[in-house]
Amino acid sequence: MRSGYNRDRLLDQIACDCFTYLGRNLPQQCASDEFYFLPRAEAALQYLTDIDDVTPEKIQDHVGYVETDSMQVKMNTTILVFTVLTFAGVLSSVISTTDFNNLFLSSKLRLFIIIFGTISATLLSFVSLVIRRKKRYLSN
């Protein structure tokens, strides 16, 4: 993981991209409180003179935006980081719980187990992602 990584910043950027896209393309709905299922986006205020295009083709374009590689990569990266951090936390908690008196594991061995387990889980997740993408690619 690179130094200075800020997971909140990554989430903020994904949210900003999504809200801006929705506000630009569905300004009337995102600026109104009548459509409770859509977020109120500040970007919508800049486009209130436009009318929302809700034709099936345009809706398909909106769905396509969410499925674009760049958006998908951002979401996958965020999920991977949260998964890795959660796994490391759970693993360290399990080690602390099972060896609460520090009788069996030295600090260096604990750290090694946490790092090794986290890297192994990350690689397993990455391999499963590659396999899923390969299957999807072959099925198309």
Q: Read off the pLDDT of residues 16-49 as tens digits, 9 standing for 90 and up.
A: 887 888 888 888 888 877 766 666 777 888 888 8
Per-residue pLDDT for 50 more than 70? yes
Let me know whether 21 and 39 are in one domain: yes
- The two three-digit tokens of residue 55, written as one number: 């034709």
3-state secondary structure at position 28: helix
| 101 vs 43, residue with greater confidence | 43
Let me know whether 140 and 73 are in one domain: yes
Let me know whether 48 and 73 are in one domain: no
Let me know whether 76 and 45 are in one domain: no
Please, are residues 42 and 20 in contact by the beta-carbon 8 Å criterion?
A: no
Let me know whether 33 and 93 are in one domain: no
Looking at residue 38, its pLDDT comes to 64
The distance between the two most distant Cα atoms of the chain, rounded to a whole number of Å, is 70
Per-residue pLDDT for 77 more than 60? yes
Final residue before a domain boundary, out of 15, 47, 67: 67
Name the residue range of residue 10's domain: 1-67
